Amino acid sequence: MAARQSLRVIVEKWLGSTREQTIRVLAVHRSRSGRILSVCVEAHGATGPRTLFFFCHADRGWQVFPPDGMRPALNLERLAA
């Protein structure tokens, strides 16, 4: 498992330095308990806008892929019956 990373660190890793572009949060998705699950971030730079979703994992670290429990899955057992 990757080391826990803050949202700021992971945004700079994927979108580049925040000094060279404008970064803004477009959407924050929360669970019913109020815990932040994902954040949609947009960066405007010289190459145009780029948008990425970042997902909060159980260790409170941020990644560009969702935690296992949030990933879409196909249940073939139900279809085989």
Domain map (residue ranges) of the chain: 7-65
pTM of the model: 0.73
Alpha-carbon gap, residue 1 to 74, rounded angstroms: 24
pLDDT by residue (tens digit) across 39-77? 999 998 888 899 999 999 888 889 998 887 665 666 666
Give SS3 for 78. helix
Strand order in the sheet with 36-45: 22-30, 36-45, 48-56, 62-63
> Distance (Å, rounded) from C-alpha 54 to C-alpha 10?
8
Cα 3 to Cα 46: distance, rounded to the nearest angstrom: 31
pLDDT digits (tens, 9 = 90+) for 14-28: 888 767 788 899 999
